[in-house]
Amino acid sequence: MSRTPHRLDRGEHIISWSIDVDASASELYAIIACPHRHHELDGSGTVRSTAIGPRQLIDGDRFRVDMRMKGIPYALTMVTTAAVTDRLVEWRHPGGHRWRWELEPVSQGVTRITESYDFRGQPAPLRRLLGMTGSHAANDQGIRRSLQKVHDRFDS
């Protein structure tokens, strides 16, 4: 069982990490599918505890999350692009990239969580700019921290 995040190769424009967590898929899905709880997952330090939207996301739902980066508050409205109960949740950021959380039961009470930042949908100039400014690297680090945070929360 993986106790620290490990990187997955999903292509040039997808950053993806995975970790095994001592929790059921339904326990984890309850947090991931609720935008009001996303701050509980966040390893980047940018997601605030306030959100507007449904308590459980389904395809097509819009939700707004309050954020703060480098001391500057802002809000983002996301669109849910996939939601399968106890299996996955994905949403699209206004910049065109997608955040995806996948859940895979691996044994009784243990679930593999994979979080991905897929920036294939960003226009090429934006992709290059974000790469040069370190945003992709920061998202890579944030994913690892998020997964470790979730793991540590449920560590038995």
Please write the tens of the pLDDT for every residue from 101-154: 999 999 999 999 999 999 998 888 988 998 899 999 999 999 999 999 999 999
pLDDT digit string, tens, across residues 37-50? 999 999 999 999 99
Cα separation values, 122 from 80, 112, 135, Å: 17, 28, 13
Please, which pLDDT band fits residue 11 given cuts at 50, 70 and 90? very high
> Is the residue at 10 inside a domain?
yes
Closest CA to 4 of 14, 17, 15, 23: 17
Q: What is the pLDDT of residue 3?
A: 86
Please, which pLDDT band fits residue 56 given cuts at 50, 70 and 90? very high
Averaged over 62-66, what is the pLDDT?
A: 96
> Is the residue at 126 inside a domain?
yes
Q: What is the rounded CA–CA span in Å between residue 65 and residue 125? A: 26
Q: How many domains are there within the chain?
A: 1
What is the domain range of residue 58? 6-154
> Is the residue at 65 inside a domain?
yes
> Is the residue at 1 inside a domain?
no
> Is the residue at 83 inside a domain?
yes
Eight-class DSSP state of 140: H
Q: What is the pLDDT of residue 1?
A: 63
Domain at 45, CATH number: 3.30.530.20
Mean pLDDT of all residues belonging to the chain:
94
Q: What percent of the chain has pLDDT over 70?
A: 98
Closest CA to 33 of 77, 87, 112, 106: 87
> Is the residue at 103 inside a domain?
yes
> Is the residue at 23 inside a domain?
yes
> Is the residue at 36 inside a domain?
yes
Q: What is the pLDDT of residue 123?
A: 87
